[in-house]
Structure 1
Amino acid sequence: MSELLSYLVENEPSFRRARLPALYSDFRSQRTLNPDGFTANVSAWKLGLSSAALAGLAPSKSGMRNHFTIELDDALLHALESKQFGRPLALGTAIHDAVVSGDLLPLEKFLNTKESIYYKSWGSIPWSVVAWGLRQAGLERGIGGLLGSWGEDKIPKGQFVVLRNLEIAAKAFSDAIADRTSPFERTFSKTHFRRTFEGSLLSDKKQRLSETDVDVLVKFLSRDKAIIATDGHTIRIRTSEAESAAITEEDTAIASLKELMEDLSRQTQVLSRRVDELNDVAQDAVRRKNRVSALAALKSRKLAEANFAQRHATLAQLEEVAAKIQQAADNVQMVRTMQASTAALRSLNAAVGGADRVDAVLDALREQMGEVDEVGNIIADVGQVPAVVDEADVDDELEAMLAEERKKEEEVERAKKEAKDAEETRRKLAELQNLGPVPAGLPGQAQTTKEGHEGEKRPSTPATAAAEALGGLSLDGPGADNKAEKLTS
């Protein structure tokens, strides 16, 4: 299994091993018999080829592998050949569908077209309708006759731009430039632009964009996405679509200055390493007692140090110029903002009408607010009679309420006392009943009726009176409580 096919099987879900027989078969007849299966196979091939190109695995005649373009020729078929399934029989059909749908665009046409690739002219609609009608009628050969060798399911030859890969790179580019705000940071020469972004737009940071990739990307970002402006040599990142797309002399100067600073920075790094190497050589020659080699190395080191100092001085001057340019650009932006603010304030002040008009408006407002308060006061006073409170009546009513409350409290206390007394009486009666009747024949008991009557005539004492009263009491009768109260009193 080739490297390209192994990558597709391992990284693309639509190329799992169970799907390979269907993808490598001649599925052209499924266009009418099984449209869903046909669409699934075509989509799988389009996605697989774009992913392989983005990963740098598509075969290329040049030593530098492209990521945004793909070369369509027999080498692609050979790279996809499998010992088990052979070559994909309907790959040409899938590629033809990608070309018709705009997923694959001829490289030369892409670079030379002035209009955006997203612009669809009305002239393309009739051909699409005719092609659809011929397919519905089953006249595949008719389409082949109109399209030449493509209709015979042969792979079109040439280099094609992969639109999906460009859109992925455009999104990555937008994320990478989000923090670049000043004009100095947003302006590049084409060479500096490639050095800056060639390794940051791909998922695999080890890979680099080729020169063709950069040309295609710059064209796509400037013409189709309106993210950058370029004249072919200088590139400026636009802050918005409303910003001018023309490259000015200031842009060119900034781009040249940045490129020169980058070149000097690389030269200083090289010279720094050169000085260290020559110093090591000189020390080694001294250890070996080789005077001639040591002197030559020292002279070379001195020359390298002089060049290093000169490059550093030049770089420092350029950095100072760059700082002044950035400051001037900031000042320009500040002045533009102040001018716009001045115009806005002038317009707003004109709408206000000046201080005299504001005073007149405020006077009128205060007058109207005073009228509103006056009307409200008049309405509030209508039908109202001053309330007069008689303090004596209030005091009398309060005393009556207090007296009634005291009366209620006295009745409650009296009821509690009566209940307590009744309970005490019941307790004493219970104790008397527990004593039982007086036994017969005891001294003092009446022996005869006559004696009894004589006893009645005897004067009553307090003890006899109490006994008589107790004899007529009933513990359960309705008048028990009153009689008990009289007895205790």
Structure 2
Amino acid sequence: MFHMLILCNRARLPALYSDFRPQRTLNPDGFQANVSAWKRGLSNAALAGHAPSKSPARNHLTLELGDALLRALESPQFGRPLALGTVLQEALASGEMLPLPHFMKTTQSIYHISWGRIPWAVAGWALRQIGLTGGPSDSMPKEQVVVVLQNLEVITKAFSDATADRIAPFERIFSRKHFRRTFEANLLDGQRLSDNDLDVLIKFLSRDKEVLATDGNTIKIRERGETASISDEDSAIASLKELIEELTHQTKALSRRVEELSQAAMDAVRRKDRVSALATLKSKKLAENNLKTRYATLNQLEDVATKIQQAADNVQLVRVMESSTGALRSLNAQVGGADRVDAVLDDLREQMGQVDEVGNVIAEVGAGAGVIIDESEVDDELESMLEEEREKEAAKEAEETRRRLAELEKLGPTPVADGRPVSPATATADALGGMHLDTDESPKEQEPEKEKEKEMIPAE
């Protein structure tokens, strides 16, 4: 049912269909929650094309108030919404819904009108004009149409996205008919906007958003800072684009007609119907001639359109060059010409030369106060340090050798080739080729120790 489509929270339906007007003072938060739920539901229903309408085409940007809306919202369980008049009163007073005649006729932007500060007396008068008094049993006998501002904002966002890449002037200009054919089916997820929706959208985009410029027949997508006027060139481009589109449509239709007649002639030949075949071929020839004429005209118009685009590009190029010339003139004036630059460079060189002179004087003073270093003393000190390092390395190696011999002594005597046992230290010393562990003892001083060692070895 319709009330379930726009109010998805089933648990809240009893509260939403009740007379919740006393909550305005008793429970302001609850009152605003119910009003917001109804306004959001009505807007979504209209945008989706579910709101009741007398016109064959569904309107997405407007909502028709009256008995049809009440009947569509009637529930077998809860009846009619008792506070709907109050909901619409709130929406009209805040400017979220606007009477369609007033919206289309006013010249001032709706954003410049403080709808939220409209006196309740004035709002009440407006509601009485459309048959609403706000009572719990109020009906809506007068059929009125209101514009839903929230839906306008949604379609405006879609329009901005769809036209973001239209940069060239030729791409931003349309006749009213061409504009309608271009955008009526491309802004609402495949749903087609009605003629009434497009009129409302064009008014909103031109007056309130300042996105479009129009004189009633020609529509131009404005660039930032561009005036809202329509020139004769704009009107000519719009007419040319509309004619090109119509001829393109005609050529497609004629092409299909030629194919159909060709197939019909072939079928007549198969049936051996000579009369039908000749008649069909004559019709085909006429269609081909018309198609050829249309293509020739279309090629001429496309050539004119190309020239117009080139001319528009040239105008833009000349404007850029003109502004660039002015910028260069201003910058050159700030520079002051070649003579001033030469004078500045000469002065700069002079100042840099003075800096070099001062630096040379400081360097000479520092060199005169310096100390002369004797290179031989430095060499002697270095040699002394190297000799000390070599002595430390030799002592370290001797200590390592003594440590290893002591470890071998702990292992006991080791037999040799002639069968006599020798100590590991002696064997290691012999293997080392007479290496002296103590650098202070000479080989001659170590020989008596070897003799004593031999005497201690028992004979076999």
CA contact (8 A) 1:25 1:90 kept: yes
TM-score (norm 2): 0.81
Q: Residue 77 of structure 2 aligns to which amino acid in structure 1? A: Q
Shift of 1:249: 0.6
Larger Rg: 1
Matched, 1:185 2:166: no
**Mapping of 1:365-380 within 5 angstroms?**
365-380=348-363
Matched, 1:245 2:228: yes
**Mapping of 1:12-411 within 5 angstroms?**
15-120=8-113, 127-128=118-119, 131=120, 148=128, 150-153=132-135, 154=138, 155=140, 157-203=143-189, 205=190, 207-240=191-224, 242-384=225-367, 385-405=369-389
Distance in structure 1 (CA, Å) of the matches to 2:30 and 2:411: 110
Q: Residue 144 and residue 194 in structure 1: after superposition, are their counterparts in 2 closer, same or farther (change >3 A)?
A: closer
CA contact (8 A) 1:187 1:237 kept: yes
Distance in structure 2 (CA, Å) of the matches to 1:53 and 1:426: 107
Show CA shifts across 1:405-450 (max 9, x none). Answer: 566567667878999999999999xxxxxxxxxxxxxxxxxxxxxx
Distance in structure 2 (CA, Å) of the matches to 1:423 and 1:67: 104
The corresponding residue for 2:436 is none
Show CA shifts across 1:82-114 (max 9, x none). Answer: 111111111111011111100111111111111
**Mapping of 1:439-454 within 5 angstroms?**
none
Partner secondary structure for residue 161 of structure 1:
strand
Distance in structure 2 (CA, Å) of the matches to 1:46 and 1:115: 25
Show CA shifts across 1:144-183 (max 9, x none). Answer: 6896453334447411111111111111111101111111
Show CA shifts across 1:325-380 (max 9, x none). Answer: 11111111111111111111111111111121122222222222222333334344
Q: Which moved more, 1:145-154 or 1:218-227?
A: 145-154
Q: Residue 82 of structure 2 aligns to which amino acid in structure 1? A: L
Q: Residue 65 and residue 390 in structure 1: after superposition, are their counterparts in 2 closer, same or farther (change >3 A)?
A: same
CA contact (8 A) 1:143 1:151 kept: no
Show CA shifts across 1:35-54 (max 9, x none). Answer: 11111111111111111111
Distance in structure 1 (CA, Å) of the matches to 2:134 and 2:402: 127
Distance in structure 2 (CA, Å) of the matches to 1:412 and 1:79: 108
The corresponding residue for 1:433 is none
Distance in structure 1 (CA, Å) of the matches to 2:401 and 2:235: 116
Shift of 1:388: 2.1
Partner secondary structure for residue 113 of structure 2:
coil
What are the ranges of 5 or more consecutive residues in structure 2 without an aligned counterpart?
413-445, 454-460
Shift of 1:288: 3.2
Distance in structure 2 (CA, Å) of the matches to 1:202 and 1:427: 101
Distance in structure 2 (CA, Å) of the matches to 1:27 and 1:391: 107
Q: Residue 151 of structure 1 aligns to which amino acid in structure 2? A: T
Q: Which moved more, 1:419-428 or 1:264-273?
A: 419-428
**Mapping of 1:436-475 within 5 angstroms?**
none
Q: Residue 175 of structure 2 aligns to which amino acid in structure 1? A: S
Q: Residue 237 and residue 411 in structure 1: after superposition, are their counterparts in 2 closer, same or farther (change >3 A)?
A: closer
Distance in structure 2 (CA, Å) of the matches to 1:93 and 1:426: 113
CA contact (8 A) 2:215 2:230 kept: yes
Aligned residues: 414
Distance in structure 1 (CA, Å) of the matches to 2:397 and 2:269: 128
Q: Percent identity?
A: 62
Q: Residue 167 of structure 2 aligns to which amino acid in structure 1? A: T
Shift of 1:285: 2.9
Q: Which moved more, 1:268-277 or 1:246-255?
A: 268-277
Q: Residue 283 and residue 382 in structure 1: after superposition, are their counterparts in 2 closer, same or farther (change >3 A)?
A: same
Partner secondary structure for residue 169 of structure 2:
coil
Shift of 1:16: 1.6
Distance in structure 1 (CA, Å) of the matches to 2:86 and 2:251: 55
Shift of 1:231: 0.5
CA contact (8 A) 1:53 1:70 kept: yes
Partner secondary structure for residue 145 of structure 2:
strand
TM-score (norm 1): 0.77
Distance in structure 1 (CA, Å) of the matches to 2:134 and 2:407: 127
Partner secondary structure for residue 246 of structure 2:
helix
Q: Residue 377 and residue 294 in structure 1: after superposition, are their counterparts in 2 closer, same or farther (change >3 A)?
A: same
Aligned-residue Cα RMSD (Å) equals: 3.2
Q: Residue 329 of structure 1 aligns to which amino acid in structure 2? A: A
Distance in structure 1 (CA, Å) of the matches to 2:366 and 2:235: 87
Distance in structure 1 (CA, Å) of the matches to 2:85 and 2:377: 114
CA contact (8 A) 2:99 2:146 kept: yes
Q: Residue 158 of structure 2 aligns to which amino acid in structure 1? A: A
Shift of 1:197: 0.6
Partner secondary structure for residue 312 of structure 2:
helix
Shift of 1:118: 0.4
Shift of 1:401: 4.0
